[in-house]
Amino acid sequence: MVHANAPLTPRGRLLLARRIVDEGWPISTAAEHFNVSWPTAKRWAGRYQEMGEAGMVDRSSRPHRSPNRTPEPTKRKIVDLRWRRRLSPQAIASRLDMPASTVHAVLVRCRLNRLSHIDIRTGEVIRRYEHPYPGSMIHVDVKKLGNIPNGGGWRYVGRPQGWQNRKTTPGTKRSRHRDVLLGHAFVHTVIDDHSRVAYAEIHDDETAATAVGVLRRAVSWFAARGVTVERVLSDNGGCYRSHLWKQACTELAVIHKRTRPYRPQTNGKIERFHRTMAAEWAFARHYQSEQARRAALPGWLHTYNHHRQHSAIGRNVPFSRLINVHGQYI
C-alpha cells in the first residue's frame, strides 16, 4: 500500500517504467530522476515488461501458503456449532480443544462472529434485501399500545399511583376480574422499503375498513412526494386478508404480498421500526394523558423522516433517498 512518504505512486511507477522500457532510459538515470534506488527502478521496469500497466499496483502481502491455517474440517465443525447450537467462541473452543482466538478468527472470516447475523430458528445466516427505488415495496403493520390514563401510566408514576390514575380516567370499564380497562391505541404504520420513509396513523381499532383507509391515504401521501407505490407487504392479520383490502389494492394498482405464516422476519423492517417508535416516542417520556402521546406522534415522525440518521441506509436520513421532493430539506 502506498504510504504518505512514498516517492512513487502507481502513476509515478508507470512513468518510471515507461521511461526505461519504452523510451530506453538507463536504469540508473531513471532512478536518479525519480529519486529512487536502482533496484526499485529495475523492479518496476520488470513488472511493466511482464504485466503491463496492471503491474503497477501494490500486490497483496498475503502468503501463497499458510501451513498453520485452520484445516477445512475443523472450520466446518466451528461453523456447524455456531449455526446449530449458537455457542460462543469460548464454548466452541472448549469442545474442539483449540484457542478461542482461533475460533473467533474463523467466525469473522465466515461472517458469523455476531449472533445477530444468524437466524435464531434456522441457524442460517440472515439474508437482507432492499428494493432498488422508492415505492417498489412498502411494508404495513399495526402496533398495539395500551392507552395512558390521565396523570400518567405506571412506567413513570409507579404501579400504585398508576392504578389510581386508571380508576379516575373517564371512559374506563371494569372487566369481570375487576380490572380497569382503558382500551388500546392501534398505530397503523407504513414504511417504504428503499428509503425507510415512514407514515403512521393512530386509530381505536384494526378493522379492515380502517386498514384500507390508512393504505389509501398513505399511497396519496407518497404520491404527493413523487413516489408511486407498486407493492405492499403485510403479515397475515385479518384486516389484510379481507376482501375489502384485496379490492382496495386492485383499485390502487398495488400488488399485495403476504409474509409466510409465523415468519415475522420477512417484514422485519417495519418490526424494527416499531421497536424504534416505542423507544423514542411511545415510552420515551412521561405523558400526562393518551391525548398528549397521540399529539406527539406527528412531530416525532417528522424528526424520524427528515433529521434522524438511519444506520441501514448509510447513516443518512430517510428523506435523503427521495430525490427532488418538495420540503425534503425542511
pLDDT over threshold 90, residue 311: no
- For residues 15 and 256, what is the distance between their CA atoms, to the nearest angstrom? 60
Tell me the CA distances in angstroms from 15 to 7, 11, 24, 30, 56, one per residue in order: 12, 6, 12, 10, 10
The answer to whether the CB of 272 falls within 8 A of the CB of 265 is no
Q: What is the pTM of this model?
A: 0.64
- Side-chain half-sphere exposure of 155, counting CA atoms within 13 A: 13
Predicted pLDDT of residue 324: 55
CATH of domain 138-147+183-321: 3.30.420.10
Q: DSSP secondary-structure letter at 278?
A: I
Predicted pLDDT of residue 176: 56
Q: Where are the domains of the chain?
A: 10-56, 72-117, 138-147+183-321
Q: Strand ranges (DSSP E) for 63-130?
A: none
Grid coordinates given for 149: 390514563
Q: How many CB atoms lie within 10 A of CB 310?
A: 19
Q: Distance between terminal CA atoms of the chain? A: 43
Predicted pLDDT of residue 215: 97
Tell me the CA distances in angstroms from 269 to 80, 109, 114, 283, 299, one per residue in order: 28, 27, 19, 20, 21
Instruction: Flag the least confident range among 28-37, 262-271, 304-313.
Output: 262-271
Average pLDDT, the chain: 87
